[in-house]
Amino acid sequence: MAGRLEGMGVVVTGATKGLGREAALLMAGEGAHVVAVGRDSADGASLEAEAAGLAGAVAFHAGDVRDAETHTGAIARCRASGRRLDAYVNNAGILGPEGPLHETSLEDWEEVNAVNMRGVFLGCRAAVREMRGAGGGSVVNVGSILSLTADPFLTSYTATKHGVLGLTRALAVDYAADGIRANCVLPGDMETPMILEYFAASDDPAAARAEMEGAYPIKRIARPREVAQAVLFLASPESSFVSGAELLVDGALT
C-alpha cells in the first residue's frame, strides 16, 4: 500500500545513519515530508540525494539533539514546508563505553544521558508543545531491548533506554486528551554503524558477530529497514488506537 504518509510532516533525529536513515527514506517513500536531523552535513547531503525522486521529500537539518534549538528548528523547518507536524521520531542515541558501574566515570555517564535521555526529552517536549491544540500527532521513541532487560557492563545505556520507555508511557497518559500518541520501538541488534563499530573494537570481530547472532532464535541481527517498518507503522494513522505501547522488534530474543 503506497502513500501511507501522504502529505504528512515528520521529524526524525539521528537520521543520517543506520535506523534513522532507513526510517527517513521509508517514510519519504510513503509520501511524507521528512526533516532529517543529524550532525554530519556530508551525510545529510547524501541522504537528500538518495531521497530524490521519492513520493515525498527529505530535508536535512543540522543540529545536536542535546540542544533544545535543534528540535524547535527542525519543527520550524517542517512548518516552513507547508505541513503540520504529524510525527516526531526520537531516534538519535549512543552506546557509550562498556564497563562495570564502579569504573564508570561521571563524565561518561553524563555523556550517554545527555544524548539518550536529554535529547529524547527535548524532542518530546518540542513535539508536544507543537502538537497540543493542533490536532495531535504521533511521537515515536526508539528504545532498545535493553529498555526491558540488561546486558553486562552497559549500565549507562541500559539505564537511559529504560528511561526512554518510561518517558514514552508518561507522555501517552498525559497527552492522550490532546490527540497525541506516544509509543516506543524496542529493537534488538541491527546492522548499524554503532554495532559494526562494536564488532570492530572487539579482539575478534568475527567471533563477536557470531556470538551475537547466535543468541537470536532467528540466527541473525536485524536489517535497519526491518525496524524502520515498525517506526513507520507507529508514526502512521494505521496505529491510531496504539499509544503507550512498546513494540519489540528483536527476532524473538526476549
Dihedral sign computed on CA atoms, order 93, 97, 102, 105:
negative
Q: Which of 157, 175, 198, 216 is catalytic?
A: 157
Does the annotation mark 216 as catalytic? no
What residues contact 148, with CB distance under 8 A and at least 6 apart?
162, 165, 186, 246, 248, 254
Region of residue 176 (phi > 0: left; psi between -120 and 50: alpha; otherwise: beta): alpha
The cell numbers describing 2, all together, are 503506497
* Residue matched to cell numbers 522488534: 249
Active site residues: 157
